[in-house]
Structure 1
Amino acid sequence: MAKTVIVVVDGFGVGAMPDAGSLRPGDLAADTCGHVLDHARTALGRPLRLPVLGALGLGLVHPHPDLARRTHLPVAAGRAALGYPGADTFAGHQTMMGADFSRVTVARLADHIDEVAGALTAAGHRTERLEGQPLLVVDGVVLVHDNLEADPGINWNASGRLDDLAFDGPAGILAVARTVRAVAPVARVIAVGGHADGPLPSYVRPGDGGTVGLDTPATGFYRNSGLQVRHLGAPLDHTRQLPELAARAGIPVTLVGKAADILVCDPALRHPAVETADVLAHTLDAVRAGGDALVVANVQETDLAGHQQDTGRYGRLLEQVDAGLAALVALLAEPGDRLIVTGDHGNDPTIGHSHHTREYVPVLIHRPGADGVELLPDADSLADVGATAAVSLALDPGGLAGGTPLRTGRRAA
């Protein structure tokens, strides 16, 4: 009876990838893990208490002096490049579960606006540009625009006021978004409907990288009640992702936290949660249930702390995660059990902006019954994490659309 648990600490990077500065040169200095540890020394006068992350090998892949270099646990430790364009949670999780993101690109709406307008017109909608800017007004009420809350070119939005039209229905906001999704090359098209404080065109502004879009927080959508959101991901073959592969083999699948919102697997048990305590509790309950299992959990609050540029909160959350990992390590003690701790991108709270940072992420694997401590070579993609988990569940990783199982490297000194 083997269990594999993947805990994704959202926004937990261990240093900038070589291309991290392509959009913002300052991002080459990104190091979420290191800067959070530095802040603790300054603000608290002590290191963060991360004994379990240390025992899982975090200090073997990050050189910070507050991280232990030795461990008594049988672990394999390394780091992974993201393997998808940009730095996005949706793309990170889909890639980690074995999706092929090779056809997904980073693109401004301006680069495809004629194609999008043509698709909307063919679907019976009326389109025009807003005062000549590279965004579309559809049927006089819905704005199709660059998403300004993620890195430029990662996501596009279709936004409308619920006072003007319905979210669902053949002519609603979601229908517009689905038409855009059919021709969009980007990772996500997001349908957003809410109650704004004024006309949406008055909240349009330029963003980074030549983008133009709606300043959604300024509209009042998030403050006012009734917000409706639907994320339309790039077309993916979900049957060739790890949760579906496991479910077809009769392995119970549990998705916790944000993973429950963005991963597709109809037979899975789902526990959406944001509070870290809830995410950890649901994860522990799934492991205690006994039997074979695949559990994928996302700790979202670390990412939120990064967006808020709240380094202190990020550190406190890491300590909370570490305590939860201690309980998981105690439960996952049988040979064949695996605990994989990783991230989906970086989100350095000291970098000077609220966007994700394109960083390597740790890959820390607890291997009960294995011998010693091994250092893994850098993985080219998060898809390699999913392929490695497939092997631990005695599944054929060739059933995934992408990813190569991580082969152990050299012994740690």
Structure 2
Amino acid sequence: MNEQEKGPVMTGKPATSKTVIVVVDGFGVGAMPDAGALRPGDLTADTCGHVLDRCREAFGRPLRLPTLGALGLGLVHPHPDLARRTHLPVAVGRAALGYPGADTFAGHQTMMGADFSRVTVARLADHLDGVTRALTDAGHRVERLDGKPLLVVDGAVLVHDNLEADPGINWNASGRLDDPDPDLALDFDGILSVARTVRAVAPVARVIAVGGHADGPLPEFVRDGDGGTVGLDTPATGFYRNGGLQVQHLGAELDHTRQLPDLAARAGIPVTLVGKAADILACEAAVRRPAVATAEVLAHTLEAVRADGGALVVANVQESDLAGHQQDVERYGRILEQVDAGLAALLSLLTGPGDRLIVTGDHGNDPTIGHAYHTREYVPVLIHRPGAPGVELLPDASSLADVGATAAAALGLDPAGLANGTEIHEAAARAA
């Protein structure tokens, strides 16, 4: 019998303890050293600091973030609008991303314990021959579009670089669901079939199947992107505004049994995935509560915590990331205030000595940086530990996987059961 068949190793923590991970999507606390590799200007990225600065100017007051302050955000990011002391028993630090680029899917998979060391950032142009061969072997007709590094499959599906993320992070397979040419008409399953064939040979983190109702032939909306990429300008097609959009994310092959949700579920711990986490994390036993609106995400999270017994809850607040993409600083600030109020409600429920509230991010998305892409930043790691003595300052974690390993330990699980990650140990430094 191998270790996986034996099931997760428990370490004797209370059976009724709860661990809640709240991922504020796109919430960074300053550029990582390699942030300027793609765009030199990103070395100035600081989502947290720039949002605080601009919102003070716009609102005529500091953002009201008393709970994030009490959780120790000001100890991680020394901004004058954040408290530098806290009375709560917390462990605070920051984490490097631990995966290439800055991507929500890769961030969450890494945080849950996946090893993304074999995932690369790559343009479709660098892999055209292999992708073409795979599609042809699967029985598809494949051709280039006007000599561009972009493929037309069966005259109907475009395989292209994703222009809405950093260059080389994701590829898309996009098709019209309402093509007026009966020879080109297809359903979403046809698009998905193409995407799955591409996924089998793609080195990137995600291949995304996209089907929708377009304002015209898709080749009319092809444009050059950054970093030598070429792809479909999906917002310009009308897919997002015409209704009926269908999307499926096909991630890099992962051993989901060695990720935190599955590890917890196999140990008999109820698992709830909320918001975008419900869409992108794998766990057959999990209760899923997909939502975009922050109020709904917070309500689902509180409902899961109020349930009896021990639990793991992973929630993603997506609207902060959307505000970053829209370069809307004021919206970002209002979302942070809404999140802060929700965190206060969570703290009132997580009072047992084994309970944990972990607040973190998956990457940065600085709305002041001058572009609509994610920014490669450190993210905060704020851990509330009821009953623990004082405040602990944590060393920088080398990967988001260390956050998942720390959560596993809090649930009484052996972090070695994850494919990646090491429990973050308390630093010698101590704050009063």
Q: Which of 353, 358, 368 is residue 340 of structure 1 equivalent to?
A: 358
Question: Within the alignment, does 1:108 sit opposite 2:123 as a pair?
Answer: yes
SS of the residue 1:107 aligns to: coil
The one-letter amino acid paired with 2:370 is G
Determine if contact 2:188/2:211 at 8 Å carries over to the other structure: no
List aligned pairs for 1:397-408, cutoff 5 A. 397-408=415-426
Question: Within the alignment, does 1:228 sit opposite 2:212 as a pair?
Answer: no
SS of the residue 2:209 aligns to: strand
Percent identical: 84
Q: Deviation of residue 290 (structure 1)? A: 2.0
CA deviations over 1:304-335 (Å, ceiling 9, x no partner): 11111110111111111001100111110110
The one-letter amino acid paired with 2:105 is F
Q: Which of 257, 270, 273 is residue 255 of structure 1 equivalent to?
A: 273
Counterpart residue number, 2:185: 165
Question: Within the alignment, does 1:27 sit opposite 2:42 as a pair?
Answer: yes
Q: Deviation of residue 202 (structure 1)? A: 1.1
Equivalent-residue separation in structure 2 for 1:152 and 1:262 (angstroms): 21
Counterpart residue number, 1:278: 296
User: Which stretches in structure 1 are left out of the alignment for 5+ residues?
Assistant: none
Counterpart residue number, 2:196: 178
Equivalent-residue separation in structure 2 for 1:108 and 1:174 (angstroms): 20
Q: Deviation of residue 140 (structure 1)? A: 1.2
Determine if contact 1:165/1:173 at 8 Å carries over to the other structure: no
Q: Which of 281, 304, 317 is residue 299 of structure 1 equivalent to?
A: 317
SS of the residue 1:92 aligns to: helix
Under a length normalisation based on structure 1, what TM-score does the superposition of the two structures give?
Answer: 0.98
Equivalent-residue separation in structure 1 for 2:32 and 2:240 (angstroms): 33
List aligned pairs for 1:145-156, cutoff 5 A. 145-156=160-171
Equivalent-residue separation in structure 2 for 1:168 and 1:89 (angstroms): 24
CA deviations over 1:244-276 (Å, ceiling 9, x no partner): 000000000000000001000011111001111
List aligned pairs for 1:300-319, cutoff 5 A. 300-319=318-337
CA deviations over 1:157-200 (Å, ceiling 9, x no partner): 0111112332344xx11111000000000000011111211111
Question: Within the alignment, does 1:386 sit opposite 2:404 as a pair?
Answer: yes
Counterpart residue number, 1:358: 376
Determine if contact 2:188/2:246 at 8 Å carries over to the other structure: no
CA deviations over 1:44-80 (Å, ceiling 9, x no partner): 1211111110010000010111111100000000000
The one-letter amino acid paired with 2:321 is D
Question: Within the alignment, does 1:242 sit opposite 2:255 as a pair?
Answer: no
Counterpart residue number, 2:80: 65
Equivalent-residue separation in structure 1 for 2:335 and 2:239 (angstroms): 28
Under a length normalisation based on structure 2, what TM-score does the superposition of the two structures give?
Answer: 0.94
Q: Deviation of residue 225 (structure 1)? A: 2.2
Determine if contact 1:167/1:228 at 8 Å carries over to the other structure: no
Q: Deviation of residue 40 (structure 1)? A: 1.9
CA deviations over 1:12-38 (Å, ceiling 9, x no partner): 000000111111111111000000110
SS of the residue 1:336 aligns to: coil
Q: Deviation of residue 100 (structure 1)? A: 0.7
Equivalent-residue separation in structure 2 for 1:74 and 1:234 (angstroms): 38
The one-letter amino acid paired with 2:320 is T
Equivalent-residue separation in structure 2 for 1:274 and 1:75 (angstroms): 28
Q: Which of 71, 76, 81 is residue 56 of structure 1 equivalent to?
A: 71
Q: Which of 141, 144, 168 is residue 126 of structure 1 equivalent to?
A: 141
